[in-house]
Copies of this chain bind each other. A is one copy, B any other.
Amino acid sequence: MTEPMFNRIALIGIGLIGSSISHAVRRAGLAGEIVGSARTPATVETALKLGLISKGYSSATEAVNGADLVVLCVPVGLCGPIAKEIRDHLAPGAILTDVGSVKGAIVRDVAPHVPAGVHFVAAHPIAGTEQSGPESGFAELFDGRWCILTPEETTDEAATRKLKAFWEALGSRVEIMSPEHHDLVLAITSHLPHLIAYNIVNTAAHLERVTDSEVIKFSAGGFRDFTRIAASDPTMWRDVFLNNREAVLEMLGRFSEDLTALQRAIRFGDGETLYKTFADARAVRRSIIQAGQDTAAPNFGRTPK
């Protein structure tokens, strides 16, 4: 029998990502045991019942005890405070990592609390669904998706290599970049799309001349697609925007500039500008499908053909 990659993995937070890691770790046989903690007692209970963890704790300090891999699976804003809380309880040689959608702020908040001999490697799996909680996870979530690691120059290279192997064993492809570049890339590929989706749902909800029930009934014209990502966890997303302010504001500024240009084209009946903008967009969709990052089925495969 070969040794598992880690003896004891501690999941701090057991929501969609934490529970999916547990499923994928068990699928690949990567851990001797998986333990975990959550602030809400019901979450710990559910995680134990589902077999996501073999031991459950209400405090992170207990959960990390003796773990050689500690994964912070909590909203971005909680990573710093939890790192401070667990610092004196981390096992020597352990790898500490996270799954947060922002990397600069997490490195800034967590790194100062990491004791000598513990290796902190920040990470972000680009995967998820609009659901939350320990019941929402599944082993296939990371298959074929990218996970970005953002080690610092001083990070132990062996720890980075081991975490890369870990994510690959979970089904991911791994890329390494700086926290700053990560935050810029994700601002356009994830944070701005979520902000816009939340915003249009909000706009639609506050119309006087169109009723809420009309918005619901006739949502298949496009609106429904936006409501999916707008159904994502509000706490997680609040923390993303509070912690990636500069990059999001930059992308938002560009988006608004471009939107103003389209608004002007509509106002003045400039069909050529509209056509050109719309025609270019098809190629992007094709590239995403070719890169294996979305289904080729029309309508995401929702309509039976």
Q: Which of A7-15, A49-57, A184-192 faces chain B?
A: A184-192
Q: Which of A39-47, A61-69, A262-270 faces chain B?
A: A262-270
Q: Which of A82-90, A114-122, A152-160, A253-261 faces chain B?
A: A253-261
A280–B223 Cα gap in the complex (Å)? 16
Q: Which of A27-35, A91-99, A162-170, A210-218 faces chain B?
A: A210-218
A294–B131 Cα gap in the complex (Å)? 15
Residue of B at shortest CB range from A237?
A: B278
Q: How many A residues have CB within 8 A of the partner chain? A: 110
A227 at the interface (CB under 8 A from B): yes
Residue of B at shortest CB range from A188?
A: B204
Residue of B at shortest CB range from A193?
A: B222
Q: Which residues of B contact A217 (CB under 8 A)?
A: 146, 175, 291, 293
The number of times this chain is found in the oligomer is: 2
- List residues of A (206-243) whose CB comes within 8 Å of B's CBs: 206-207, 209-210, 212, 214-232, 234-235, 237-239, 241-242
A249–B209 Cα gap in the complex (Å)? 15
Q: Which residues of B contact A184 (CB under 8 A)?
A: 209-210
A194 at the interface (CB under 8 A from B): yes
A196 at the interface (CB under 8 A from B): yes
Of the candidates B146, B216, B287, which one forms a contact with A287 in the assembled complex, judged by CB atoms under 8 Å apart?
B216
A241 with B200: CB separation less than 8 A: no
Known: A148-B218, A298-B131. A281 touches B249 (CB 8 A): no
Q: Which residues of B contact A219 (CB under 8 A)?
A: 189, 288, 291, 293-294
The minimal Cβ–Cβ distance linking A100 to chain B, given in whole angstroms, is 13
B237 with A249: CB separation less than 8 A: no
B242 with A252: CB separation less than 8 A: no
A201–B245 Cα gap in the complex (Å)? 21
A275 with B234: CB separation less than 8 A: yes
23 A–B contacts from the bound complex (CB under 8 Å): A126-B221, A130-B285, A138-B305, A140-B304, A145-B220, A146-B220, A188-B215, A188-B223, A189-B215, A189-B222, A192-B203, A195-B262, A200-B255, A217-B291, A220-B293, A224-B294, A227-B285, A231-B282, A238-B275, A238-B278, A248-B266, A252-B266, A256-B259
Interface residues of A (CB under 8 A from B): 101, 126-131, 136, 138, 140-141, 145-146, 148, 175, 181, 184-186, 188-207, 209-210, 212, 214-232, 234-235, 237-239, 241-242, 245, 248-249, 251-252, 254-256, 258-259, 262-263, 265-267, 269, 271, 274-275, 277-282, 284-288, 291, 293-295, 298-305
What 10 A-B pairs have minimum CB-CB distances, sorted nearest first?
A190-B221, A193-B222, A234-B278, A129-B298, A231-B285, A230-B281, A300-B300, A234-B279, A201-B281, A227-B285
